[in-house]
Each structure stands twice: as C-alpha cells, then as structure tokens.
Amino acid sequence: MQSHADYPAFTSVYPDEHRRRKALPPFFFATVRDAIPFGAVYAAVEGEVALGVAVWLPPGAFPWSAARKFRATWAFTKVWAADPKGFIKFTRLGANSELHHPRDRHWSLEALGIRPEAQRKGLGTLLVQPILDRADSEGVYCYLETSNPANVAFYERFGFRVTTDLPLIPNGPPHFAMRRPVGGLLPH
C-alpha cells in the first residue's frame, strides 16, 4: 500500500489520505489473493517485510469471472466502508478499466508496487522480468495500465509503449494503457 499512497488514480478517487489508507489495503489484498492461484505473483522480501510485489494475470485470466468477483466481495465491502462516496468513483474507475482492457491473449500486469525506501534498487526489474521472459517464450504480448506519468519511462525500458492516455473517470488523471510486443520490439 505504501507504494501506492500517492498514486494519481487513487488520490483522485480518495483525496482524503486517511480514507485512502483504509480503502486500499483490502483492495490490494483481494488483487493478490485472486492472482496467487495463477502462479504469477512475485515478491521481493527482506526478513518478514515485503519490499515489492508484482501481480500478473496470465492469458485468459482477465477479466475476473463472476465467481472470482464474488470471492472478493468481503474485500470490496471493506473498501466501500472506508469511503462510500469514493467507492462509487472507485468502481467506475475499475469498470472503465475493464471496458478498455484488451480481450485477446496477453499477460496483464495488474499491480507493481515497491516500498518507497526500496525503490530505484532494481527490484521492479527483478519482479517483472520473469513474466516478460515467459510471455516472450509463449509468443504473447504484455499489457498494463498506470495513472502515474513517472511510471511510463520505467515501463518503456522493457519495451512497453503507450497505446492510450485517456482519463477513466471525469476529472481524473490520465490513464496510460501500455502494451509490450513479444520480445519488447516494435514491428517495423
């Protein structure tokens, strides 16, 4: 959660820091819990502290099925309780993201978070590279979304390119959809 404390999409939905700090942990817990059975959640851990986490969904795992959404109901109830008014914007953000998400075969980076004190030490690369390599070997592209313009350059280092940069909610921040072709190479 610390890695996303000031993330533009979440600060737009939950401008009050106290409510944001209550709403986001159950959301991220549900996101990680949903992805674990697919075997593509990577963590960098030091002692008992998670320094960073990458949450991927393999081809065919997005969007969440009705059963997976039902399993996450308890978490979304907690997100709602943290800020009922913000929850409306939160669900609109998620629904619009799902609406624009590609439907063909791809790996989807659902979340990448590095604790602030562990950033710029190579952990992000360590956490995303295994799936980039796997996607290349499987011959499928990778996809992600970010609302933080500072993240765009980081992902471009891996061959991701911005495909759209439209806000997903009224008066919200730009939302960058990014795609990485197989091998990270753009077609000529």
Predicted TM-score (pTM) of this structure:
0.92
pLDDT at position 30 = 94
At 188 the pLDDT is 44
pLDDT above 50 (res 18): yes
Q: Tell me, what's the pLDDT at 135?
A: 97
Closest-CA residue to 89 (of 171, 164, 27): 171
Q: Where are the beta strands (DSSP E) in the chain?
A: 41-46, 49-57, 106-114, 141-146, 161-165, 176-180
Taken in order of first residue, the domains within the chain and their CATH numbers are 2-138 (3.40.630.30)
Residues with Cβ within 8 Å of residue 78, at least 6 apart in sequence: 22, 23, 26
Q: Per residue in 140-184, pLDDT tens?
A: 999 999 999 999 999 999 999 999 888 788 788 889 999 999 988
- Per residue in 34-82, pLDDT (tens digit) is 999 999 999 999 999 999 999 999 999 998 999 999 999 999 999 999 9
